[in-house]
Amino acid sequence: MTRRTLTVRGMTCEGCVKSVTRVLERVEGVNAVEVSLDEGSARITARDDVPTEVLIAAVEKAGFEAEARSA
């Protein structure tokens, strides 16, 4: 398992947090998701073979901007 953090822009409320959480949890191989409105971030624990690009695409498809946060 790998833990990755995305910067997520465009979230304005708890409904947005739920939307981002939901789309990330639907990605095959994702085990856990923690989304923070205050930090503008999503922390994802997923299998090693789940590309970060797939996670970003899921968030963007939901209408938000996302990018990998550097370590």
Confidence of residue 70 (pLDDT cuts 50, 70, 90): confident
What number is the average pLDDT over the span 36-64?
97
> Residue for token digits 């409105």?
37
58: buried, middle or exposed (CB in 10 Å: 19+, 13-18, 0-12)?
A: buried
What number is the average pLDDT over the span 38-46?
98
3-class SS of residue 32 = strand
What are 22-36's pLDDT values in tens digits? 999 999 999 999 999
Q: Which domains, and CATH codes, for the chain?
A: 2-66 (3.30.70.100)
